[in-house]
Amino acid sequence: MAKKPINKILFILLAVFLLPLLIFTVYQISTLNENEKVITEIYDKQLEAILFSVNQYSQDLVDAWARDISEAERDSLYTDERMEEFLLENEAVRYILWSDSTLHNTRLLSLDEQENSEVHALLKDSLVSKEEDLVRLRTFQKGGYAKKQPLGRLKVEGSLSNQSALIFLLEEGIRYQVCLLVLDPGLFITRTLAQKIQSIAQENFIISAYDDANNVQIAVLDSIKGKVPHKRPLWLLPDYSLGIVLKGETIQDLAKERTVNNLLILLGVDSILLVGLWLIYRNIKREIQLAQIKSDFVSNVSHEIRTPLALISMFAETLEMDRVGGENKKKEYYSIIRHEANRLASIVNKILSFSKMEAGKAKYDLKPTNLAKVVEGILKTYDYHLKSQGFTCKYLPYENLPSIQADKNAVSEALINLLDNAIKYSNGSKEIGIRLGEDANGVFIEVRDYGLGISVEDQKSIFDKFYRVPTGEVHNTKGTGLGLTLVWRIMEAHGGSVSVESQTEEGSCFKLVFPVPRNN
Ligand code: ADP
């Protein structure tokens, strides 16, 4: 077998198929990661936008409150009623502290029935301490921007602890008033903002708020478990933040799942391509092997024919010239000529049989046949041939062997081929065994030798046409590589089979199995 062209073809196939495949796979994997990055970024931005809209909403809400309070203040007849209504409607607003621009005249509003003078004083103090902020708010106001300034968590004890505050200015002609709102952050988030959060979150997200100072989650609907990658502070309550996650699978999970799916598809495509590549390689290898084997066949046959022809020609010439002394010598020469002519005939017959079979023209005349008779007939004919070469043949018959449907000539041809091989590949061991028998598969003939033997690898190919084992002493033995192919085809035509059991250096055993007709 020519190893070099096959290696070259393998190399070309690898270069043509595997290299682009490898490049494509690497490219796909790298773009997959890039795509995931882009998708993750888009999602990140979307989540940020959602948090932004919640913040914007709370800002709008406080702007609306400021307008309500301002209108209530102007409606001097019903100010108190309207403010009470406002406080009832917005339960997150605990206190409203009003003040004129001097911060001297202040008024506290709340739904609390209790004495609130202490709260009043505390809030007034904190308002006074925020004078700088008030100056800034006034500047903004003059510029037309009614800013609402969050003051964060009130650092006082009692009923104001854990409450947050914010201040803004109320315009009143050229004068202005200051308004300080005390908010209950929990209520603001779970009541005032809840509806908005719910409408945004719907089925897709979980939005939750966090009290950052105390590290507590204030869940609106569902609470978020684990780490929250998207968290933004609430503009109006700087000590609190909003977190958002995708409901069910997180975007990381989705991205991971997509990556895994894509990789699996890629792996599938790669495997299909590899299998295709392997099939192509196997076919090309077979074709090259066959071409090589055919050329070997031609040279084998030429060699096989040339030797007997040369011998026949040489001995005939010697006899013709009458140079042979003695009758015995003459007889020996005639015998050699006959033997070589038989050999020639057998080679030619083999090739003819094969070409008939290849053309589908082989005809088998299947008749009830007694296998034992066929075997014994051949052994009789072959006896001289075997003995002259020093072989002993052990024959084991079988009692009551059922008769089979067979073509006697074809079975003889198969058996002769096996016997020929047993002699050719005997490797010096001069014993051959023939056994008849019956088993579950039918009636069988076994031809056993103790010669060269056949490796497991070669056992797969010996029945292929033209195949000859390429190693060992086989090169010194003549042959066409057709004998076992003929045996195989003959057994096929009989609905039977041929099998081999062999071990190198130990010998081989070929078994022909014929089916037994049902009515037997
Ligand atoms: P050939 O004309 O080469 O004998 P066959 O088709 O009869 O062709 O056999 C194919 C190959 O199988 C042979 O070349 C030989 O290498 C191997 N072979 C066949 N029979 C035997 C055997 N009894 N012992 C060892 N090798 C064998």
Instruction: Find the farthest-apart pair of alpha carbons in the chain and give their distance in angstroms, rounded.
Output: 162
Determine the atom of ligand 1 nearest the C-alpha atom of 479. 2
Distance of alpha carbon 500 from alpha carbon 484, whole angstroms:
11
Ligand 1, atom 13, lies closest to the CA of: 468
Q: Yes or no: is domain 363-514 CATH 3.40.190.10?
A: no
Model-wide pTM > 0.85: no
List alpha helices for 75-130, DSSP H: 79-89, 117-128
Determine the atom of ligand 1 nearest the C-alpha atom of 468. 14
For ligand 1, say whether the CB of 181 is within 6 Å of any of its atoms. Answer: no
Distance of alpha carbon 125 from alpha carbon 212, whole angstroms:
26
Q: CB count, 10 Å around CB of 344?
A: 17
For ligand 1, say whether the CB of 422 is within 6 Å of any of its atoms. Answer: yes
List alpha helices for 91-172, DSSP H: 117-128, 131-142
Which pLDDT value is given to residue 46?
81
Which pLDDT value is given to residue 365?
93
How far apart are the CA of 336 and the centre of ligand 1, in A? 25
For ligand 1, say whether the CB of 426 is within 6 Å of any of its atoms. Answer: no
How far apart are the CA of 454 and the centre of ligand 1, in A? 8
- Best residue among 425, 482, 503 to mutate for probing ligand 1's pocket (most ligand atoms within 8 Å of CB) is 425
Distance of alpha carbon 91 from alpha carbon 79, whole angstroms:
18
Which pLDDT value is given to residue 252?
65
Determine the atom of ligand 1 nearest the C-alpha atom of 463. 6
Q: CB count, 10 Å around CB of 156?
A: 16
For ligand 1, say whether the CB of 452 is within 6 Å of any of its atoms. Answer: yes
Distance of alpha carbon 224 from alpha carbon 269, whole angstroms:
40
Ligand 1, atom 25, lies closest to the CA of: 453
For ligand 1, say whether the CB of 468 is within 6 Å of any of its atoms. Answer: yes
CATH architecture of 299-360: Orthogonal Bundle (1.10)
Domain ranges (residues) in the chain = 3-60+192-252, 93-183, 299-360, 363-514
pLDDT tens sequence for the chain (520 residues): 455 667 777 788 778 777 877 887 788 778 777 777 887 788 778 878 888 988 999 999 999 999 998 888 888 788 888 988 999 999 899 999 989 888 889 988 888 777 778 889 889 988 888 889 999 999 998 888 889 999 888 877 777 888 999 999 988 767 788 999 999 999 999 888 888 888 887 777 888 888 888 888 887 777 778 777 778 888 889 889 888 887 766 666 777 787 788 888 888 888 888 898 889 888 988 888 888 878 888 888 888 888 889 999 999 999 999 888 888 989 999 988 998 898 899 889 888 888 888 888 889 999 999 999 999 999 998 888 889 889 999 999 999 999 999 999 999 999 999 999 999 999 899 999 999 999 999 999 999 999 999 999 999 999 998 888 887 655 567 788 899 999 999 999 999 999 999 999 999 999 999 999 876 5
How far apart are the CA of 481 and the centre of ligand 1, in A? 7
Give the pair of three-digit tokens for residue 328.
Answer: 């015995």
Ligand 1, atom 12, lies closest to the CA of: 462
- Best residue among 468, 480, 482, 488 to mutate for probing ligand 1's pocket (most ligand atoms within 8 Å of CB) is 468
**Nearest to 447, CA basis, from 403, 384, 512:** 512
Nearest 5°: the CA angle 394, 399, 404 is: 100
For ligand 1, say whether the CB of 442 is within 6 Å of any of its atoms. Answer: no
Please name the helix (run of DSSP H) or strand (run of DSSP E) that holds residue 401, with its range, or none.
none
Contact status, residue 347 vs residue 480, Cβ threshold 8 Å: yes
How far apart are the CA of 115 and the centre of ligand 1, in A? 118
For ligand 1, say whether the CB of 484 is within 6 Å of any of its atoms. Answer: yes
For ligand 1, say whether the CB of 507 is within 6 Å of any of its atoms. Answer: no
Please name the helix (run of DSSP H) or strand (run of DSSP E) that holds residue 431, with its range, or none.
strand 431-439
Distance of alpha carbon 40 from alpha carbon 47, whole angstroms:
10
How far apart are the CA of 359 and the centre of ligand 1, in A? 24
Ligand 1, atom 23, lies closest to the CA of: 422
Contact status, residue 408 vs residue 376, Cβ threshold 8 Å: no
For ligand 1, say whether the CB of 451 is within 6 Å of any of its atoms. Answer: yes
The interaxial angle of helices 483-493 and 327-358, nearest 10 deg, is 50
Determine the atom of ligand 1 nearest the C-alpha atom of 472. 16
Which pLDDT value is given to residue 225?
80
How far apart are the CA of 488 and the centre of ligand 1, in A? 13
Return the SS3 of 504. Answer: coil
Q: What is the DSSP string of 15-39?
A: IIIIHHHHHHHHHHHHHHHHHHHHH
